[in-house]
Amino acid sequence: MDYLDRLEAEAIHIMREVAGQFERPALLFSGGKDSIALTRLAEKAFRPGKFPFPLVHVDTGHNFPEVLAFRDKLAADLGEKLIVRKVEDTIRERGLVEPGGKYPSRNPLQTYTLLDVIEEFEFDACIGGARRDEEKARAKERIFSVRDDFGQWDPKRQRPELWNIYNGRIRKGENVRVFPISNWTELDVWNYIQRENIALPNIYFTHERECVVLPSGQLLGLSEHITIDEDDEIVTRNVRFRTVGDSTCTAAVESDAATIDDIIQDILVAKVSERGATRLDDNLSETGMEDRKRNGYF
């Protein structure tokens, strides 16, 4: 078997374990390529049956409109249930402070909405598209990762994960985050998307966009959510996005890649890792991701 077939078989096996072990699982769906790949794996795991879980999207209100449209169409085409919960509702209901600043990120506030939706539907397992190659703290994450009542991750109390036996036994109030594509790299996901002919939101491909040039040299697409000052440098470039997060904290990269083949070529020559190129929130401190994960972030 080719390595991609092996990774696929492993992911399908993990998804079916979720279906077999939990009463109320959910698939966290962001509209990004990794969660889109998860829906293809779920089709392979459960068709001709329905998915044994709904798709759940935590909408920050800062998402790219193209991605939201894609999300709705995909859920409709699949004929599966989609649950959307909005960060702005959480902000209102909980009286949270809307993040300020020039490029306000609702990314940290997503965690509240996520924990609320888990509580609302009593989800006992949430499938996510995180990969171990994304970041150093993620490299230590289990495939079945148990979270306490507060959604917190304690790296020192992780269960040992032996062979491909996944222990999802939890106490009331706890839940499990499950990462079926843990062992995939960014390139593996792209190779899979190409092989399976999976459709993606068009912001992954080259397009002309007005961007502000950040002090780091990174490009951030203009949107109503960020503040532009007089001395900001605004440019129009051919760009694409390597990840699909909030429009306020996901930088664009200059690229003429119009097809998946082009993107794979782009990655093969790219020398900057995925999160480093595009995520403004991880650069804050060396342990940005670990700290957020401890607090319940995905």
Residues 6+ apart with CB under 8 A from 196: 40
Report the DSSP beta bridge partners of residue 252.
Answer: 219
**Which of 23, 100, 165, 230 lies at the binding interface for other proteins (CB under 8 A)?**
165
**Which of 133, 148, 232, 281 lies at the binding interface for other proteins (CB under 8 A)?**
133
Q: Which amino acid type is present at position 91?
A: I
26-34, 44-52, 55-63, 247-255 -> range binding other proteins (CB under 8 A): 44-52
11-19, 23-31, 207-215, 245-253 -> range binding other proteins (CB under 8 A): 11-19
55: enclosing H helix or E strand = strand 55-59
Assess 20 for contact with other proteins (CB under 8 A). Answer: yes
293: enclosing H helix or E strand = helix 288-294
Q: How far is the CB of 153 from other proteins (least distance, A)?
A: 11
**Which of 232, 270, 281, 295 lies at the binding interface for other proteins (CB under 8 A)?**
270
- Applying the rule CB under 8 A, the residues between 145 and 164 that interact with other proteins are 146, 155-156, 158-164
Q: Outline where 48-106 has alpha helix (H).
A: 65-78, 87-94
Assess 217 for contact with other proteins (CB under 8 A). Answer: no
Closest to 232 measured CA to CA, from 120, 89, 102, 135 = 102
Nearer to other proteins, 234 or 272 (CB): 272
**Which of 76, 234, 272, 284 lies at the binding interface for other proteins (CB under 8 A)?**
272
86: enclosing H helix or E strand = strand 82-86
Assess 170 for contact with other proteins (CB under 8 A). Answer: yes
CA distance 31 to 256: 22
Which residue pairs, CB below 8 angstroms and at least 24 apart, start in 223-232? 223/62, 223/247, 223/248, 225/62, 225/104, 226/102, 226/103, 226/104, 227/102, 227/103, 229/102
Assess 65 for contact with other proteins (CB under 8 A). Answer: no
Q: How far is the CB of 269 from other proteins (least distance, A)?
A: 11
* Interface contacts to other proteins, rule CB under 8 A: 1-3, 5-10, 12-13, 16-17, 19-20, 43-50, 52, 132-133, 136-137, 139-140, 146, 155-156, 158-165, 167, 169-171, 174, 182-183, 185, 187-188, 270-273, 276-277, 286-287, 290
